[in-house]
Amino acid sequence: DAKTTQPPSMDCAEGRAANLPCNHSTISGNEYVYWYRQIHSQGPQYIIHGLKNNETNEMASLIITEDRKSSTLILPHATLRDTAVYYCIANTGTASKLTFGTGTRLQVTL
Amino acid sequence: DAGVIQSPRHEVTEMGQEVTLRCKPISGHNSLFWYRQTMMRGLELLIYFNNNVPIDDSGMPEDRFSAKMPNASFSTLKIQPSEPRDSAVYFCASRQFTSGEKLFFGSGTQLSVL
């Protein structure tokens, strides 16, 4: 898996958009960008993934730069329940192992 | 579907005892993963299976740890003998090959070795 770099922590006001960056400058052409989150004391939860195009689902949007060296996970209207550690992972998505880094701890405040 | 089911939810044992953690993956999923999480080391992959066959066990810390998957609906992670440094939360996860790396995690087993 390509190395990913994320800020250790971020704050966001409730109701505002949370934009979580991830750098993956050495990502290869066949590696997807996956995002997971882990709410305190729970197992990680899949959020979204993408290869080249921007993606959106009911949880979040994923914006990948044209050169694919970085991406941003967007939670459009953050709530207190979005407080969690967010992990960005680069992986080929071919039934291989998934390795988690240290992630970004997002704190959503009133 | 009930999701990935792990048992027990909490386990407290004494050093030297055998510990067995259990996992039931989501029906129809082809892969199963065991992870361990501590404050110091974060979330570490211990081992994963594809179609009940162990594919990569390079994360298993030492011979005291063993994992089995006798069938598609059940897996165990055994620690014998247990040591205080094994205290951690152990997560099991499963996925379908066709869904790429979309893993579904269980609620974890909080293990405390005294």
Q: Check B101 against A45: CB less than 8 A apart.
A: no
Q: How many helices (H) and strands (E) does chain B have?
A: 0, 11
Q: What is the pLDDT of residues B52-103, one digit of tens each?
A: 999 999 999 889 999 999 999 999 999 999 999 999 999 999 998 777 788 9
Distance from the Cα of B4 to chain A's closest Cα (Å) equals 10
Which residues touch B55 (CB under 8 Å, ≥6 apart)? A97, B48, B49
pLDDT of residue A2: 83
Around Cβ A39, how many Cβ atoms within 10 Å? 13
B33, B32, B40: which is closest to B85 by C-alpha?
B40
A105 touches chain B (CB under 8 A): no
Query: Does the pLDDT at position A95 exceed 70?
Result: no
Which residue carries 């989501």 as its tokens? B26
Residue from A18, A10, A11, A9 nearest A77 by CA: A18
Q: List, in sequence order, every residue forming a beta bridge with A37; answer none if it has no partner.
A: A45, A86
Q: Model confidence at B1, in pLDDT bands (50, 70, 90)?
A: low
Interface test with B, best of A34, A98, A99 (most B CBs within 10 A): A98
Q: Point out which residues pair with A79 in neighbouring strands.
A: none
The encoded tokens of residue B34 equal: 């065991």
Is any Cβ of chain A less than 8 angstroms from the Cβ of B105? yes
Partner-chain contact A93 B104, CB within 8 Å:
no
- For the cut 90, the answer to whether the pLDDT of residue A96 exceeds it is no
**Dist. CA B90–CA B41, nearest whole Å:** 13
Residue B98: the pLDDT is 78
pLDDT tens column, A34-83: 999 999 989 999 999 999 989 999 999 999 999 999 999 999 999 999 99
